[in-house]
A and B are shown apart, each in its own frame.
Chain A
Protein backbone atom coordinates (compact mmCIF):
# COMPACT_ATOMS: atom_id res chain seq x y z
CA UNK A 1 0.00 0.00 0.00
CA UNK A 2 1.40 3.37 -1.01
CA UNK A 3 1.77 6.23 1.41
CA UNK A 4 -1.27 8.01 -0.06
CA UNK A 5 -3.56 4.99 0.51
CA UNK A 6 -2.10 4.41 3.94
CA UNK A 7 -2.64 8.02 5.03
CA UNK A 8 -6.16 8.09 3.57
CA UNK A 9 -6.96 5.05 5.70
CA UNK A 10 -5.32 6.65 8.74
CA UNK A 11 -7.32 9.86 8.19
CA UNK A 12 -10.56 7.87 7.84
CA UNK A 13 -9.84 5.97 11.05
CA UNK A 14 -9.02 9.14 12.96
CA UNK A 15 -12.27 10.77 11.82
CA UNK A 16 -14.42 7.66 12.36
CA UNK A 17 -13.13 7.05 15.86
CA UNK A 18 -13.73 10.69 16.76
CA UNK A 19 -10.06 11.14 17.62
CA UNK A 20 -9.99 14.24 15.41
CA UNK A 21 -12.71 16.57 14.21
CA UNK A 22 -10.86 17.72 11.11
CA UNK A 23 -8.09 16.59 8.80
CA UNK A 24 -6.07 19.27 7.03
CA UNK A 25 -4.37 17.79 4.00
CA UNK A 26 -3.55 18.28 0.34
CA UNK A 27 -5.95 17.95 -2.56
CA UNK A 28 -5.75 18.34 -6.33
CA UNK A 29 -4.78 21.85 -7.38
CA UNK A 30 -5.45 23.96 -10.43
CA UNK A 31 -2.73 22.25 -12.47
CA UNK A 32 -1.47 18.63 -12.30
CA UNK A 33 1.64 19.57 -10.33
CA UNK A 34 -0.12 21.87 -7.86
CA UNK A 35 -1.68 20.90 -4.56
CA UNK A 36 -4.11 22.94 -2.55
CA UNK A 37 -5.02 22.59 1.11
CA UNK A 38 -8.28 20.78 1.77
CA UNK A 39 -10.25 20.33 4.96
CA UNK A 40 -11.85 16.96 5.54
CA UNK A 41 -14.55 16.53 8.18
CA UNK A 42 -15.93 13.06 7.39
CA UNK A 43 -14.40 9.69 6.52
CA UNK A 44 -16.35 9.55 3.22
CA UNK A 45 -14.30 12.43 1.87
CA UNK A 46 -10.81 11.01 2.44
CA UNK A 47 -10.60 9.97 -1.24
CA UNK A 48 -9.93 13.62 -2.04
CA UNK A 49 -6.64 13.52 -0.13
CA UNK A 50 -3.50 13.48 -2.25
CA UNK A 51 0.01 12.85 -0.99
CA UNK A 52 3.03 12.97 -3.27
CA UNK A 53 6.21 14.93 -3.84
CA UNK A 54 4.22 18.00 -4.95
CA UNK A 55 2.81 18.48 -1.44
CA UNK A 56 5.28 21.16 -0.39
CA UNK A 57 3.18 23.78 1.41
CA UNK A 58 3.52 24.06 5.18
CA UNK A 59 -0.04 23.45 6.37
CA UNK A 60 0.63 24.38 10.01
CA UNK A 61 -0.59 27.91 9.23
CA UNK A 62 -4.15 26.52 9.11
CA UNK A 63 -3.97 25.51 12.78
CA UNK A 64 -3.96 29.02 14.22
CA UNK A 65 -7.22 30.66 13.12
CA UNK A 66 -9.14 31.86 16.13
CA UNK A 67 -11.47 29.30 17.65
CA UNK A 68 -10.30 26.24 15.69
CA UNK A 69 -8.77 24.50 18.70
CA UNK A 70 -10.68 26.29 21.48
CA UNK A 71 -13.19 23.44 21.87
CA UNK A 72 -10.38 21.14 23.06
CA UNK A 73 -10.89 18.71 20.16
CA UNK A 74 -7.99 17.51 18.05
CA UNK A 75 -7.12 18.24 14.45
CA UNK A 76 -4.98 16.07 12.19
CA UNK A 77 -2.65 17.74 9.76
CA UNK A 78 -0.25 16.58 7.05
CA UNK A 79 3.19 17.96 7.87
CA UNK A 80 6.73 17.72 6.61
CA UNK A 81 9.57 18.15 9.14
CA UNK A 82 9.47 21.93 8.65
CA UNK A 83 5.76 21.92 9.52
CA UNK A 84 6.45 19.86 12.65
CA UNK A 85 8.96 22.52 13.69
CA UNK A 86 6.30 25.18 13.10
CA UNK A 87 3.91 23.33 15.41
CA UNK A 88 6.61 23.27 18.09
CA UNK A 89 7.14 27.02 17.75
CA UNK A 90 3.41 27.74 17.87
CA UNK A 91 3.21 25.59 21.01
CA UNK A 92 6.22 27.35 22.57
CA UNK A 93 4.54 30.69 21.83
CA UNK A 94 1.30 29.48 23.46
CA UNK A 95 -0.67 29.63 20.22
CA UNK A 96 -1.82 26.04 20.43
CA UNK A 97 -1.67 22.94 22.62
CA UNK A 98 0.48 20.34 20.84
CA UNK A 99 -1.67 17.59 22.37
CA UNK A 100 -4.49 18.72 20.09
CA UNK A 101 -2.43 18.33 16.93
CA UNK A 102 -2.26 14.87 15.37
CA UNK A 103 0.57 14.82 12.87
CA UNK A 104 0.45 12.80 9.68
CA UNK A 105 4.15 13.22 9.03
CA UNK A 106 5.91 12.68 5.73
CA UNK A 107 9.18 13.51 4.12
CA UNK A 108 9.92 14.19 0.48
CA UNK A 109 13.03 12.46 -0.70
CA UNK A 110 14.17 11.93 -4.30
CA UNK A 111 10.75 12.81 -5.69
CA UNK A 112 8.86 10.47 -3.38
CA UNK A 113 6.80 11.07 -0.27
CA UNK A 114 7.80 8.77 2.60
CA UNK A 115 5.93 8.33 5.87
CA UNK A 116 7.47 9.56 9.13
CA UNK A 117 6.58 7.54 12.23
CA UNK A 118 4.94 9.44 15.08
CA UNK A 119 1.67 11.20 15.80
CA UNK A 120 2.47 13.92 18.34
CA UNK A 121 5.06 16.67 17.90
CA UNK A 122 7.27 15.43 20.75
CA UNK A 123 7.67 12.01 19.07
CA UNK A 124 9.67 13.67 16.30
CA UNK A 125 12.37 15.01 18.62
CA UNK A 126 15.18 12.71 17.32
CA UNK A 127 14.36 13.69 13.72
CA UNK A 128 14.47 17.41 14.56
CA UNK A 129 17.71 16.99 16.49
CA UNK A 130 19.26 15.39 13.41
CA UNK A 131 18.03 18.32 11.31
CA UNK A 132 19.76 20.71 13.68
CA UNK A 133 23.05 18.88 13.43
CA UNK A 134 22.72 18.78 9.64
CA UNK A 135 22.71 22.59 9.75
CA UNK A 136 21.08 25.24 7.58
CA UNK A 137 20.79 25.21 3.81
CA UNK A 138 24.19 25.41 2.16
CA UNK A 139 22.68 26.79 -1.07
CA UNK A 140 21.22 29.78 0.74
CA UNK A 141 24.43 30.21 2.69
CA UNK A 142 26.39 30.40 -0.56
CA UNK A 143 24.11 33.18 -1.77
CA UNK A 144 24.31 34.94 1.61
CA UNK A 145 28.11 34.73 1.50
CA UNK A 146 28.09 36.27 -1.95
CA UNK A 147 26.07 39.23 -0.64
CA UNK A 148 28.19 39.60 2.46
CA UNK A 149 31.32 39.94 0.38
CA UNK A 150 29.87 43.03 -1.28
CA UNK A 151 30.34 46.51 0.20
CA UNK A 152 27.41 47.93 2.17
CA UNK A 153 26.65 50.28 -0.73
CA UNK A 154 26.46 47.41 -3.23
CA UNK A 155 24.35 45.34 -0.87
CA UNK A 156 21.97 48.25 -0.40
CA UNK A 157 21.68 48.58 -4.18
CA UNK A 158 20.97 44.87 -4.49
CA UNK A 159 18.15 44.96 -1.95
CA UNK A 160 16.88 48.28 -3.29
CA UNK A 161 16.40 46.62 -6.66
CA UNK A 162 14.71 43.63 -5.05
CA UNK A 163 12.45 45.62 -2.72
CA UNK A 164 11.50 48.11 -5.43
CA UNK A 165 9.54 45.23 -6.99
CA UNK A 166 7.46 44.69 -3.83
CA UNK A 167 3.78 45.55 -4.31
CA UNK A 168 2.95 45.19 -0.60
CA UNK A 169 0.43 42.44 -1.25
CA UNK A 170 1.50 40.86 2.07
CA UNK A 171 1.21 37.38 0.57
CA UNK A 172 4.45 36.56 2.44
CA UNK A 173 2.68 37.41 5.68
CA UNK A 174 -0.55 35.58 4.87
CA UNK A 175 1.21 32.35 3.95
CA UNK A 176 3.51 32.31 6.98
CA UNK A 177 2.51 30.13 9.94
CA UNK A 178 4.45 32.48 12.20
CA UNK A 179 2.53 35.62 11.15
CA UNK A 180 -0.48 35.08 13.37
CA UNK A 181 -0.67 38.53 15.02
CA UNK A 182 -4.22 39.85 15.07
CA UNK A 183 -2.84 43.28 14.35
CA UNK A 184 0.31 43.29 12.30
CA UNK A 185 2.79 46.14 12.75
CA UNK A 186 2.10 47.27 9.17
CA UNK A 187 -1.58 47.67 9.98
CA UNK A 188 -0.85 49.90 12.95
CA UNK A 189 -1.47 53.48 11.86
CA UNK A 190 -1.15 55.52 15.04
CA UNK A 191 1.70 56.01 14.50
CA UNK A 192 2.13 54.74 10.97
CA UNK A 193 5.32 52.76 11.46
CA UNK A 194 5.58 51.46 7.94
CA UNK A 195 4.50 53.47 4.91
CA UNK A 196 1.47 51.86 3.34
CA UNK A 197 2.10 52.64 -0.32
CA UNK A 198 4.53 50.39 -2.11
CA UNK A 199 7.43 52.73 -2.65
CA UNK A 200 10.92 51.43 -2.10
CA UNK A 201 11.57 52.96 1.32
CA UNK A 202 8.37 51.57 2.81
CA UNK A 203 9.15 48.25 1.15
CA UNK A 204 12.56 48.27 2.81
CA UNK A 205 10.95 48.83 6.19
CA UNK A 206 8.33 46.17 5.68
CA UNK A 207 10.76 43.53 4.48
CA UNK A 208 13.28 44.31 7.21
CA UNK A 209 10.71 44.16 9.96
CA UNK A 210 9.13 41.00 8.54
CA UNK A 211 12.50 39.24 8.52
CA UNK A 212 13.29 40.55 12.00
CA UNK A 213 10.02 39.21 13.41
CA UNK A 214 10.93 35.81 11.99
CA UNK A 215 14.37 35.75 13.63
CA UNK A 216 14.76 32.40 15.34
CA UNK A 217 11.22 31.40 14.25
CA UNK A 218 11.53 30.71 10.54
CA UNK A 219 11.70 27.00 9.64
CA UNK A 220 12.67 27.63 6.00
CA UNK A 221 9.51 26.07 4.56
CA UNK A 222 9.90 28.53 1.69
CA UNK A 223 6.22 29.53 1.69
CA UNK A 224 6.99 33.25 1.46
CA UNK A 225 9.38 32.72 -1.42
CA UNK A 226 6.78 30.76 -3.37
CA UNK A 227 3.98 33.16 -2.51
CA UNK A 228 5.87 36.28 -3.58
CA UNK A 229 4.42 37.37 -6.94
CA UNK A 230 7.53 39.41 -7.80
CA UNK A 231 10.13 36.85 -6.69
CA UNK A 232 11.95 38.74 -3.95
CA UNK A 233 14.42 36.28 -2.35
CA UNK A 234 12.69 36.49 1.04
CA UNK A 235 14.10 33.13 2.06
CA UNK A 236 17.56 34.64 1.94
CA UNK A 237 16.71 37.25 4.57
CA UNK A 238 15.09 34.60 6.75
CA UNK A 239 18.11 32.37 6.32
CA UNK A 240 20.43 35.14 7.51
CA UNK A 241 18.31 35.54 10.65
CA UNK A 242 18.23 31.78 11.29
CA UNK A 243 21.99 31.70 10.94
CA UNK A 244 22.37 34.52 13.46
CA UNK A 245 20.12 32.70 15.95
CA UNK A 246 21.95 29.41 15.45
CA UNK A 247 25.51 30.74 15.50
CA UNK A 248 25.12 33.28 18.29
CA UNK A 249 22.47 31.74 20.53
CA UNK A 250 22.58 28.04 19.49
CA UNK A 251 18.88 28.34 18.68
CA UNK A 252 17.40 26.04 16.04
CA UNK A 253 13.79 27.13 15.58
CA UNK A 254 11.15 24.59 16.53
CA UNK A 255 13.42 21.98 18.04
CA UNK A 256 10.92 21.26 20.79
CA UNK A 257 7.64 22.58 22.15
CA UNK A 258 9.26 23.89 25.32
CA UNK A 259 12.06 25.77 23.60
CA UNK A 260 12.00 29.43 24.67
CA UNK A 261 11.62 31.90 21.78
CA UNK A 262 15.09 33.24 21.09
CA UNK A 263 14.21 36.92 21.52
CA UNK A 264 12.02 36.36 24.58
CA UNK A 265 14.86 34.94 26.63
CA UNK A 266 18.50 35.73 27.33
CA UNK A 267 21.65 34.52 28.99
CA UNK A 268 23.72 36.80 31.16
CA UNK A 269 26.80 35.84 29.16
CA UNK A 270 25.31 36.48 25.71
CA UNK A 271 28.04 37.83 23.43
CA UNK A 272 28.23 41.62 23.06
CA UNK A 273 31.17 42.34 20.80
CA UNK A 274 29.64 45.45 19.25
CA UNK A 275 28.51 47.41 22.31
CA UNK A 276 30.60 50.47 23.12
Chain B
Protein backbone atom coordinates (compact mmCIF):
# COMPACT_ATOMS: atom_id res chain seq x y z
CA UNK B 1 0.00 0.00 0.00
CA UNK B 2 1.40 3.38 -0.94
CA UNK B 3 0.42 6.45 0.99
CA UNK B 4 -0.37 9.51 -1.06
CA UNK B 5 2.06 12.35 -0.49
CA UNK B 6 0.56 15.16 1.56
CA UNK B 7 2.34 18.45 0.90
CA UNK B 8 3.07 20.98 3.60
CA UNK B 9 1.96 24.41 2.51
CA UNK B 10 2.66 27.57 4.47
CA UNK B 11 0.27 30.47 3.87
CA UNK B 12 1.31 34.01 4.77
CA UNK B 13 -1.90 36.01 4.90
CA UNK B 14 -2.96 39.50 5.86
CA UNK B 15 -5.27 39.74 8.83
CA UNK B 16 -7.79 42.12 7.25
CA UNK B 17 -8.68 40.21 4.11
CA UNK B 18 -7.40 36.69 3.52
CA UNK B 19 -7.42 35.70 7.19
CA UNK B 20 -10.96 36.99 7.50
CA UNK B 21 -11.79 35.15 4.27
CA UNK B 22 -10.41 31.95 5.78
CA UNK B 23 -12.50 32.64 8.88
CA UNK B 24 -15.57 32.96 6.70
CA UNK B 25 -14.77 29.66 5.02
CA UNK B 26 -14.58 28.12 8.47
CA UNK B 27 -17.76 29.65 9.89
CA UNK B 28 -19.57 28.71 6.67
CA UNK B 29 -18.49 25.10 7.32
CA UNK B 30 -16.69 24.82 3.98
CA UNK B 31 -14.24 21.97 3.74
CA UNK B 32 -10.76 22.59 2.49
CA UNK B 33 -7.51 20.65 2.50
CA UNK B 34 -5.78 20.52 5.87
CA UNK B 35 -2.32 20.83 4.29
CA UNK B 36 -2.12 24.55 4.78
CA UNK B 37 -0.55 26.22 7.82
CA UNK B 38 -1.58 29.83 8.10
CA UNK B 39 0.61 32.61 9.42
CA UNK B 40 -1.33 35.78 10.06
CA UNK B 41 0.39 39.10 9.47
CA UNK B 42 -0.86 42.69 9.66
CA UNK B 43 -0.53 43.30 5.92
CA UNK B 44 0.98 41.75 2.79
CA UNK B 45 3.41 44.67 2.93
CA UNK B 46 4.74 43.06 6.13
CA UNK B 47 5.62 39.84 4.33
CA UNK B 48 9.35 39.78 3.87
CA UNK B 49 10.81 37.54 1.17
CA UNK B 50 12.81 36.03 4.03
CA UNK B 51 9.57 34.45 5.27
CA UNK B 52 9.23 32.50 2.04
CA UNK B 53 12.84 31.32 2.18
CA UNK B 54 12.44 30.39 5.85
CA UNK B 55 9.32 28.35 5.11
CA UNK B 56 11.17 26.42 2.40
CA UNK B 57 14.16 26.00 4.70
CA UNK B 58 11.92 24.45 7.35
CA UNK B 59 10.50 21.91 4.91
CA UNK B 60 7.51 23.51 3.20
CA UNK B 61 6.68 22.06 -0.21
CA UNK B 62 4.75 25.12 -1.23
CA UNK B 63 4.09 28.66 -0.06
CA UNK B 64 1.01 30.80 -0.50
CA UNK B 65 1.07 34.54 -0.02
CA UNK B 66 -2.28 36.22 0.03
CA UNK B 67 -3.83 39.54 0.93
CA UNK B 68 -6.38 42.20 0.06
CA UNK B 69 -7.30 43.03 -3.51
CA UNK B 70 -5.57 46.12 -4.92
CA UNK B 71 -7.34 49.18 -3.59
CA UNK B 72 -8.69 47.37 -0.53
CA UNK B 73 -5.61 47.51 1.69
CA UNK B 74 -6.33 48.52 5.27
CA UNK B 75 -3.12 50.53 5.16
CA UNK B 76 -4.06 51.99 1.74
CA UNK B 77 -0.97 50.87 -0.20
CA UNK B 78 0.69 47.91 1.51
CA UNK B 79 -0.47 45.43 -1.09
CA UNK B 80 0.73 47.61 -3.97
CA UNK B 81 4.23 47.61 -2.50
CA UNK B 82 3.95 43.87 -1.87
CA UNK B 83 2.93 43.24 -5.47
CA UNK B 84 6.12 44.84 -6.80
CA UNK B 85 8.26 42.86 -4.41
CA UNK B 86 6.58 39.60 -5.39
CA UNK B 87 7.08 40.33 -9.07
CA UNK B 88 10.80 40.77 -8.54
CA UNK B 89 11.25 38.03 -5.95
CA UNK B 90 9.29 35.51 -7.95
CA UNK B 91 11.48 36.01 -11.00
CA UNK B 92 14.59 35.70 -8.83
CA UNK B 93 13.39 32.42 -7.32
CA UNK B 94 12.58 31.09 -10.78
CA UNK B 95 16.03 32.12 -11.99
CA UNK B 96 17.73 30.24 -9.17
CA UNK B 97 15.72 27.11 -9.93
CA UNK B 98 13.09 27.29 -7.20
CA UNK B 99 10.00 26.43 -9.25
CA UNK B 100 7.49 29.25 -9.43
CA UNK B 101 4.70 26.64 -9.30
CA UNK B 102 5.52 26.17 -5.62
CA UNK B 103 5.16 29.81 -4.67
CA UNK B 104 1.61 31.08 -5.13
CA UNK B 105 0.21 34.56 -4.77
CA UNK B 106 -3.42 35.53 -4.53
CA UNK B 107 -5.86 38.26 -3.56
CA UNK B 108 -8.69 37.03 -1.33
CA UNK B 109 -11.06 39.45 0.36
CA UNK B 110 -12.89 38.96 3.65
CA UNK B 111 -16.05 38.09 1.67
CA UNK B 112 -14.40 35.40 -0.43
CA UNK B 113 -14.59 32.39 1.86
CA UNK B 114 -15.54 30.17 -1.05
CA UNK B 115 -12.62 31.40 -3.14
CA UNK B 116 -10.29 30.69 -0.24
CA UNK B 117 -11.53 27.11 0.16
CA UNK B 118 -11.31 26.45 -3.58
CA UNK B 119 -7.86 27.99 -3.87
CA UNK B 120 -6.47 25.95 -0.99
CA UNK B 121 -7.87 22.79 -2.55
CA UNK B 122 -6.53 23.55 -5.99
CA UNK B 123 -3.01 24.55 -4.90
CA UNK B 124 -2.84 21.53 -2.60
CA UNK B 125 -3.66 19.31 -5.58
CA UNK B 126 -1.08 21.07 -7.75
CA UNK B 127 1.68 20.81 -5.19
CA UNK B 128 0.79 17.23 -4.39
CA UNK B 129 1.24 16.51 -8.10
CA UNK B 130 4.67 18.21 -8.03
CA UNK B 131 5.74 16.04 -5.10
CA UNK B 132 7.95 17.02 -2.18
CA UNK B 133 10.53 19.76 -2.82
CA UNK B 134 13.34 17.27 -2.44
CA UNK B 135 16.05 19.31 -4.11
CA UNK B 136 15.77 21.95 -1.41
CA UNK B 137 15.01 19.66 1.52
CA UNK B 138 18.07 17.52 0.85
CA UNK B 139 20.23 20.55 1.50
CA UNK B 140 18.55 20.98 4.88
CA UNK B 141 19.20 17.32 5.73
CA UNK B 142 22.90 17.88 5.09
CA UNK B 143 22.89 20.61 7.72
CA UNK B 144 21.07 18.47 10.25
CA UNK B 145 23.56 15.63 9.91
CA UNK B 146 26.51 18.02 10.13
CA UNK B 147 25.32 20.07 13.07
CA UNK B 148 25.81 17.33 15.64
CA UNK B 149 29.44 18.19 16.30
Residues of chain B in range 61-115 having any CB-CB distance to chain A below 8 Å = 70-71, 77, 80-81, 83-100, 104-107
Contacting pair B99 A266 (CB below 8 A): no
A248 at the interface (CB under 8 A from B): yes
Q: How large is the interface on A (under 10, 10 to 19, 20 to 34, 35 or more residues)?
A: 35 or more
- Residues 143-182 of chain A, each 1 if its beta carbon lies under 8 Å from chain B, else 0: 0100110001111111110000000000000000000000
Query: Given A263-B84, A275-B105, A276-B104, A201 and B96 touching (CB < 8 A)?
Result: no
Contacting pair B89 A212 (CB below 8 A): yes
- Mark the stretch among B7-15, B20-28, B35-43, B46-54 that contacts chain A: B46-54
> With a CB–CB cut-off of 8 A, which chain A residues contact B92?
208, 211-212, 215, 237, 240-241, 244
Contacting pair B139 A199 (CB below 8 A): yes
> With a CB–CB cut-off of 8 A, which chain B residues contact A194?
50
Contacting pair A266 B80 (CB below 8 A): yes
- The listed residue (B50, B70, B105, B139) touching A268 by CB distance below 8 A is B70
Contacting pair B53 A205 (CB below 8 A): yes
B1 at the interface (CB under 8 A from A): no
Contacting pair A270 B80 (CB below 8 A): yes
A62 at the interface (CB under 8 A from B): no
In Å, the complex CA distance between A158 and B83 comes to 28
A259 at the interface (CB under 8 A from B): no
A95 at the interface (CB under 8 A from B): no
In Å, the complex CA distance between A152 and B134 comes to 13
Query: Given A199-B139, A263-B81, A275-B83, A158 and B97 touching (CB < 8 A)?
Result: yes
In Å, the complex CA distance between A67 and B54 comes to 35
B69 to A: closest C-beta gap in Å: 10
- Residues 100-140 of chain B, each 1 if its beta carbon lies under 8 Å from chain A, else 0: 10001111000000000001000000000000000110011
Residues of chain A in range 215-266 having any CB-CB distance to chain B below 8 Å = 215-216, 237, 240-241, 244-245, 248-249, 262-266
A68 at the interface (CB under 8 A from B): no
Contacting pair A270 B57 (CB below 8 A): no
A200 at the interface (CB under 8 A from B): yes
Contacting pair B57 A200 (CB below 8 A): no
- The listed residue (A240, A264, A265, A275) touching B91 by CB distance below 8 A is A240
In Å, the complex CA distance between A237 and B89 comes to 12
A195 at the interface (CB under 8 A from B): yes
Q: Which residue of B lies closest to A211 (CB)?
A: B92
Contacting pair B88 A212 (CB below 8 A): yes
> With a CB–CB cut-off of 8 A, which chain A residues contact B106?
275-276
In Å, the complex CA distance between A264 and B77 comes to 11
- The listed residue (B85, B93, B99, B143) touching A208 by CB distance below 8 A is B93
B107 to A: closest C-beta gap in Å: 6
> With a CB–CB cut-off of 8 A, which chain A residues contact B135?
153, 156-157, 160
Q: Report, nearest first, the 7 A-B pairs whose CB atoms are least far apart.
A: A156-B97, A155-B97, A201-B139, A266-B80, A276-B106, A152-B99, A215-B88
**10 A-B contacts, Cβ less than 8 Å apart?**
A152-B97, A201-B136, A202-B143, A240-B95, A249-B84, A266-B83, A274-B86, A274-B100, A275-B86, A276-B105
The chain A residues found within 8 Å of chain B, CB to CB, are 144, 147-148, 152-160, 185, 191, 193-195, 197, 199-202, 204-205, 207-209, 211-212, 215-216, 237, 240-241, 244-245, 248-249, 262-268, 270-272, 274-276
12 extra A-B contacts, CB within 8 A, seeds A160-B139, A201-B142, A215-B92: A144-B95, A147-B95, A152-B94, A152-B97, A159-B97, A200-B139, A201-B136, A237-B95, A248-B87, A266-B77, A270-B83, A272-B70
